[in-house]
């Protein structure tokens, strides 16, 4: 359990949970407090994960060892960094997304195009789990010790337990995915403080259909999101192809699979299609602030379907995603995806249905 606490700061007051009746996704919840109860308990958790991945592609984890006060503290720090850092410092520490294919640093508002020329109102600060790799803003520095402690715990404890359950669910060696996400080996996985500002006007929302960030799949292995009270995250149901709201679960971490997990499993576990939309009426005119961890395999890991390794995938009859020798490395695809996202001509006109573009030699899709 992370315990270090830095200076006091202003508390970010999140919006109250909505009272509107929404069509929520029915998500599986994994109780990680049972992880240490032995092999049978872990197998049961892995079976629950497998069901979640074969149906919704999202699941929740509770009792992961990070209490609600620590989560709220991180949201406060994120709000402080994103609203109190001087603009000139943000610009100096801006991420080189187009040039280097990396989010590390600030992403300012109006960088991405959502649809028909409407620009995003999203600000982010992104950082690697190793805080020594880059300069951080003055607003972040006083909190480095507690942030580093949390980075370590999330990756080495929470993530490793989740990755172990993924391996068990596919009848792989328990360390299979851990060995490809080693803490001390270079990759560009990133933690993120992110704020969605409510500054879109009615005309912009009409153009985008109320969408703040259009439907997409994350490109890494898994994404970890600390659950937020604002109802704005939606997933596309695998079977009905309808959008469902992701429910708020205080203290929970929301997990979804990315494209690299889909490649590893040959589509047995699908990358989750999700988007962010304008919230219901009783939550509008307020901002959304949260903490995320976007997880990538180590840079030089090549990702292809694990037919030789997993009897589960062989029995399912999945096909290999890439011809042997043509599979991309984690670094290669990450750099291509970040460089291209939200800035290509694809986003200039009205998006309808499913739009495809080729990124790094691989087709990627956007969902409208």
Q: From start to end of 278-318, where are the E strands?
A: 288-295
- β-strands 28-31, 58-62 pairing: parallel
pLDDT of residue 67: 96
pLDDT of residue 366: 44
- β-strands 190-196, 122-127 pairing: antiparallel
On whether the CB atoms of residues 275 and 211 are closer than 8 A, the answer is yes
**Terminal Cα distance for the chain, rounded:** 40
Residues 251 and 225: their CA atoms lie apart, in Å, by 11
pLDDT of residue 358: 56
Going by C-alpha positions, the residue among 24, 20, 18, 17 that lies closest to residue 60 is 24
Q: Is the pTM of this model over 0.85?
A: yes
Residues 262 and 304: their CA atoms lie apart, in Å, by 9
Helix (H, G, I), strand (E, B) or coil at 343: coil
Going by C-alpha positions, the residue among 197, 228, 215 that lies closest to residue 291 is 228
Per-residue pLDDT of the chain (368 residues; tens, 9 = 90+): 667 778 999 999 999 999 999 999 999 999 999 999 999 999 999 999 999 999 888 999 999 999 999 999 999 999 999 999 999 999 999 998 888 889 999 999 988 888 888 998 999 999 999 999 999 999 999 999 999 999 999 999 999 999 999 999 999 999 999 999 999 999 999 999 999 998 888 888 888 888 888 899 999 999 999 999 999 999 998 788 899 999 999 999 999 999 999 999 999 999 989 999 999 999 998 999 999 999 999 999 999 999 999 999 999 999 999 999 999 999 999 998 888 755 555 454 555 555 555 555 555 554 45
Helix (H, G, I), strand (E, B) or coil at 23: coil
Residues 262 and 94: their CA atoms lie apart, in Å, by 31
CA distances from 191 to 7, 154, 293, 326 (A): 21, 10, 4, 29
Which residues have CB under 8 Å from 179's CB, separation 6+? none
Residue 179 exposed, middle or buried by CB count within 10 Å (0-12, 13-18, 19+): middle
Backbone angles phi, psi at 198, to 5 degrees: -90, 25
Residues linked to residue 228 through DSSP beta bridges, in sequence order: none
pLDDT of residue 185: 96
pLDDT of residue 351: 54
Residue 88 exposed, middle or buried by CB count within 10 Å (0-12, 13-18, 19+): exposed
């Amino acid at each position: 359990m992370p315990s270090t606490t830095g200076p006091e700061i202003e508390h970010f007051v999140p919006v109250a949970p909505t009272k509107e009746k929404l069509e929520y996704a029915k998500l599986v919840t994994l109780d990680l407090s049972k992880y240490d109860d032995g092999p049978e308990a872990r197998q049961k958790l892995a079976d629950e994960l497998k069901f979640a991945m074969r149906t919704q592609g999202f699941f929740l984890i509770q009792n992961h060892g990070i209490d609600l006060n620590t989560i709220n503290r991180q949201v406060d720090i994120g709000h402080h960094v994103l609203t109190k850092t001087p603009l000139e410092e943000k610009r100096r520490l801006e991420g080189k997304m187009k040039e280097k294919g990396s989010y590390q640093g600030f992403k300012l508002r109006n960088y991405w195009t959502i649809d028909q020329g409407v620009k995003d109102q999203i600000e982010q600060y992104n950082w690697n789990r190793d805080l020594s790799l880059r300069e951080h803003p003055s607003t972040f520095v006083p909190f480095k010790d507690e942030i580093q402690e949390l980075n370590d715990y999330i990756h080495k404890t929470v993530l490793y337990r989740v990755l172990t359950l993924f391996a068990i669910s596919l009848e792989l060696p328990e360390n299979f995915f851990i060995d490809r996400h080693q803490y001390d080996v270079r990759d560009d996985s990133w933690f993120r403080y992110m704020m969605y500002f409510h500054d879109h006007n009615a005309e912009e929302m009409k153009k985008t259909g109320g969408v703040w960030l259009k439907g997409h799949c994350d490109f890494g292995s898994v994404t970890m999101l600390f659950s937020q009270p604002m109802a704005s995250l939606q997933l596309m149901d695998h079977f009905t192809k309808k959008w469902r709201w992701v429910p708020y679960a205080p203290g929970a971490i929301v997990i979804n699979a990315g494209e690299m997990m889909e490649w590893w499993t040959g589509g047995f576990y699908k990358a989750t299609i999700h988007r962010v939309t304008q919230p219901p009426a009783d939550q509008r005119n307020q901002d959304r602030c949260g903490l995320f961890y976007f997880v990538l395999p180590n840079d030089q890991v090549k990702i292809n379907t694990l037919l030789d390794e997993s009897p589960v995938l062989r029995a399912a009859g999945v096909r290999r995603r890439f011809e042997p020798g043509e599979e991309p490395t984690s670094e290669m695809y990450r750099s291509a995806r970040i460089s291209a996202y939200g800035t290509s001509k694809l986003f200039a006109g009205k998006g309808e249905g499913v739009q495809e573009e080729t990124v790094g030699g691989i087709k990627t899709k956007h969902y409208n």
